[in-house]
Amino acid sequence: MRFPQPVSLKELANLIHAEIVGDENMMVVGLNEIHRIEKGELVFVDHPKYYDKALNSNATFVLINKNVEAPEGKALLISQKPFDDFNKIIRHYANLELNLESLGTNCRIAPSARIHKTVSIGDNVVIGENVVIHPHVSIYSNVQIGDNTVIHANTVLGSHAFYYKKKESGYDNLVTCGRLIIEQDVEIGANCTIDKGVTADTIIGAGTKIDNLVQIGHDTVLGKKCLFASQVGVAGCVTIEDNVTLWGQVGLASGITIKKNAVLYAQSGTNKTLEGDKVYFGSPAEDARKKMKELAMIKRIPELLDFIRNHKE
C-alpha cells in the first residue's frame, strides 16, 4: 500500500507511540509485506526467526519488537506489538470504510461495459472496454478489470485476505489494503473467489481462463494465458507463470512458484516449486509418467506377494 503522500518517520512513530532508531525526518512512501517490499516502504516483523530477513530486505523502514541497531540507510520503529501497530497504520492512511451502496465512489467504468443491474461495485473500481459482468457478481473496492473480460454469475472479486495472527484471545487479521488487478481478455467462471493483496496486488494475467468454483488467495500472481479447471484452490503468495494449466481440484500451497508451461493433472497438489515445460500428477505432485508407473506397480503388489509366497513353499 502506498500512502497518499510520503509520511515522515516521526509522524508514524507518534501515531503508534513507537521509539525511533535512525533519522526521524526520513520519508516513508508506504508499507508492504516482506515478499513484496520495496525501497522507501515499511515492513513489520515480530518473530526472532525473521528479524534478519526483515532487516536485510529491500525495506527502508522496519517496525520491530527488538532494540537493535538500524542497518546503514535504514531506520527502525521499535514497538511491543508490531502486528497491531502495522494494522493501526493501515487503518489510519487507507480508506477502508465499507460502502453499502451498489455502486461505490471514484469508479471508472467504460461506456461499452455491460454490467447486470444486480452487480455490486465498491470504491475505486476500474472496469475496461467491452467487459461483461453477469448477475450477482460482487466487486470489492480497489479492483481493476481489463478490457474484453467476462465475469460469470455469483463470483466475488477482491475479498479480504485469509491472513491471521494467533493470539491468546483468538485470531487477529492483518488488515487488507491491497488491490486485485485483472488484465485484459480474461474469463472468470461462476462462483469463483479471488482475494485482493494484503498490502500489494493480486494479479490475473492477460488471456487467462478460469472455470467455475475456483479460489485464488491473496497476493498470488498469475501469468498470461493460464487455464484453470473447476475447484482449483490456490493459496496466497503463489507465483504462476505463463501458460500454466491446472486441471480440476488441483491444490497449491502458499509461497511457491509454478513455472512456465507446466501442467498439473486433476487432484494433484504440491507445497514445492515446480519446474516448467513438464506434466505433473499426484500429491505430492511428481513427473506424471513416473507417478503413473508407480501406480501401476502398486496394483501389482498382490501378484508379487503371491509370487513370493509360492516360491517360499
Cell of 49: 526467526
Q: Is 152 a catalytic residue?
A: no
Pairing outcome for strands 227-228 and 209-210: parallel
> Quick check: 74 and 59 in contact, CB under 8 A?
yes
> Whole-angstrom Cα distance, residue 289 to residue 24?
59
Cis check: omega of the bond before 284, within 30 degrees of 0: yes
Which position among 47, 136, 218, 311 bears the catalytic label?
Answer: 218
> Whole-angstrom Cα distance, residue 132 to residue 40?
38
Spatial CA neighbour of 197 closest among 221, 224, 213: 221
Report the catalytic residues. Answer: 218
